[in-house]
Amino acid sequence: MMMYANKKRINKEFNYDDLVYLKIQPYKQHSLANTPFHKLSTKYYGPYKVIERIGKVAYRLDLLAKTRIHNVFHVSLLKKHHGSHGVSE
């Protein structure tokens, strides 16, 4: 059984200064973006820089100062940024 379960699993790891997108719950989105309808809001926010790795599955991100959410996120909520454009401000 373990073989079938592990087929779909992907080990994600990010390094210092990597750019990642952040997926957050609809009730937390009001601190990153002001949208009246949560169904129409974006799914991923960012890209943000990875500041440090905390344990095996948590990362601290360089969020904006005005955001009112905690800056440590589980690896399952992060998606690697591909491309050359910079950090959102």
Does residue 14 sit within a domain?
yes
At residue 39, φ and ψ (nearest 5 deg) are -65, -30
| pLDDT given for residue 32 in this prediction | 67
Does residue 22 sit within a domain?
yes
**What is the pTM assigned to this prediction?**
0.78
CATH number of the domain to which 69 belongs: 2.30.30
Please count the structural domains in the chain.
Answer: 1
Does residue 30 sit within a domain?
yes
Please give the structure tokens belonging to residue 53.
């790795």
Residues of the chain with pLDDT under 50: none
| pLDDT given for residue 75 in this prediction | 95
Does residue 87 sit within a domain?
no
| pLDDT given for residue 27 in this prediction | 65
Q: What is d(CA 70, CA 89) in angstroms, rounded to the nearest whole number?
A: 17
| pLDDT given for residue 28 in this prediction | 65
Q: Which helix (H) or strand (E) holds 79?
A: strand 78-80
**Which structural domain, as residue segments, surrounds residue 36?**
2-80
